Amino acid sequence: MSVGSLSVLRARTADTTRRYQLVAVARISHAHAGSPSKSNRPNLDRKWTAPSRQGHEKSCNVRAPKIENGHEYQPDVRDGGKVKGPGERTQTCALLLAFSVGAVACLLGAGSPATPSAPAVPAMPITVAVPPSVSGRPAGSCATLLSGLAGRDQLAQLVMAGADPGRETSTTALVRDDHVGALFIGGTSTRLLTGGRLTAIRAMASIPPLIAVDEEGGRVQRIDDLDGTTPSARALATTATPDQARDLGHRRGRQLLSRGVTMDLAPVADVSDAPANSVIGDRSFSAEPAVVTRYAGAFAAGLRTAGVIPVLKHFPGHGTASGDSHRELPRTPPLAVLENHDLEPYETLIPAGAPVVMLGHLDVPGLTGGSPASLSAEAYRLLRGKYRFDGVAMTDDLGAMRAITNRFGLPEAAKRAIAAGADLVLWSSPMPVAPVLDQLQHAVATGELAQTRVREAVTRVLHLKTGCAR
């Protein structure tokens, strides 16, 4: 996940598991024959022909566990399913029609899966579509932008700091005083996501920061209380076409952008058939690499057309790993196995234009030598070499996931990640930025962190944010 922050609550009995399964209510409220009309769809460059299918809006109550900023909350089912504290309130899936213009059933495992015959993976535009009102200065040379930054400010560009979503002043200080390159908005408060607050905070910086959230759908959502829920990846791949997944990504992206969010730490490109409520579970589109490739690519392309940056995660593959990186360092199958299974989506989606890849905290036999991939130079070399990725490589949460915190403090973990090859280091909870920048500055001064590595990383981040020429 990228939602890492605090410990994950895992206590669950068999009865509880059954009670939190998706409950289908067979109520058909609308019927739409054939494929949805093109006039109702976003103007998207389609790379496949979706099969005509008869869709129906089905209503269902969702009481599945929800992950918020690393916590897995148990929904409170009292008071008609409404939230009593952190949790998932009962909502209908009727608003799926608002997101994917075709009718998408929200039943997990109900109906026949939508399986188009060998559609091409859509290309993701290389240039980030950032609205002029928040893009800051016109794009020029990345070298020129970089030369205008002091040494500490260059290092700050490599930081995605967790913001307190309920405290606008402290978030403002991260940009105004610490000059961080990116903010992660976690937690449950929606204050920062309303009233144009994030857009105003971005406007304070000469090079506006990236604003990121976790908006995968299903258990991992950030704007559901504001803009309604969306299905999990697994439910989407089971009940919708890739074309509809792209439309959903586009609609959700427009909603995120309207709230000042410019990056979505999604889609999950992990390949998994694990139970829905496991660490990856229904956050994965499928146990089949080809299905994951089609749907992750479609959702990511939809985000891009909306002007939001997607992030593929968790390289080199959390789907078949044993363990949960929130609690421990998980171990994956050997690299040779991953290359023929878990890594297949990256082999296709990176050439299609994926702009950002998140590395997981994963021990990969034959690659990382017992270290987390997020801190492993070998893992970054694999990503850059064999998979020819030249975009921004970022870490999973370094501040609250025990795969990291059991070994290193945040400043040391950030230094090791950047030295290994990360361009952007993430921590999801509000934590001081100064100690991290102090550690990075010291590492540069002593030669432990090469200046060429810093310039390379900052250049990638600036290119992603501004479209500047490299």
Query: pLDDT tens digits, residue range 157-215?
Result: 999 999 999 889 999 999 999 999 999 999 999 999 999 999 999 999 999 999 999 99
Banded pLDDT at 124 (limits 50, 70, 90): low
Do 157 and 94 have their domain in common?
no
The encoded tokens of residue 180 equal 């961080």
Average pLDDT, the chain: 79
- Give residue 166's pLDDT: 86
220 in Cβ contact with 88 (< 8 Å): no
- Give residue 296's pLDDT: 99
Instruction: Give the helix ranges, DSSP H, for 177-223.
Output: 197-202
Neighbouring residues of 68: CB distance < 8 A, sequence distance ≥ 6: 3, 86, 186, 187, 188, 220
Q: Is residue 6 part of a domain?
A: no
Do 418 and 337 have their domain in common?
yes
Looking up residue 174, the CATH number of its domain turns out to be 3.20.20.300
**Closest alpha carbon to 402 in 328, 332, 330:** 328
Quote the CA–CA distance of 250 and 244 in Å, as a whole number: 10
Do 48 and 181 have their domain in common?
no
Q: Provide the β-strand partners of residue 309.
A: 263
Do 335 and 387 have their domain in common?
yes
Distance from chain centroid for Cα 246: 15
74 in Cβ contact with 87 (< 8 Å): yes
For residue 456, pLDDT beyond 80: yes
User: Could you report the per-residue pLDDT of 31-70, keeping only the tens digit for each?
Assistant: 333 333 333 333 333 332 233 333 333 333 333 444 444 4
Exactly one of 250, 326, 361, 463 is catalytic; name it: 326
Q: Provide the β-strand partners of residue 315.
A: 359
Q: Is residue 54 part of a domain?
A: yes
Exactly one of 153, 227, 282, 396 is catalytic; name it: 396
**Closest alpha carbon to 122 in 347, 298, 304:** 298
CB atoms within 10 A of CB 30: 11
Do 180 and 70 have their domain in common?
no
**If you count DSSP H runs as helices and E runs as strands, how many of each does the chain have, helices first?**
17, 13
**396 is a catalytic site residue:** yes
Quote the CA–CA distance of 120 and 245 in Å, as a whole number: 14
The encoded tokens of residue 201 equal 């905070």
Quote the CA–CA distance of 221 and 212 in Å, as a whole number: 12
User: Could you report the per-residue pLDDT of 84-123, keeping only the tens digit for each?
Assistant: 233 333 333 333 333 333 333 332 233 334 444 445 666 7
Containing domain of residue 425, as a range? 132-466
Q: Is residue 113 part of a domain?
A: no
For residue 351, pLDDT beyond 80: yes
Total domains in the fold of the chain: 2
Do 264 and 154 have their domain in common?
yes
**179 is a catalytic site residue:** no
Query: Pick from 49, 77, 99: which residue ends a domain?
Result: 99
For residue 28, pLDDT beyond 70: no
Phi, psi of 255 (to 5 degrees): -65, -45
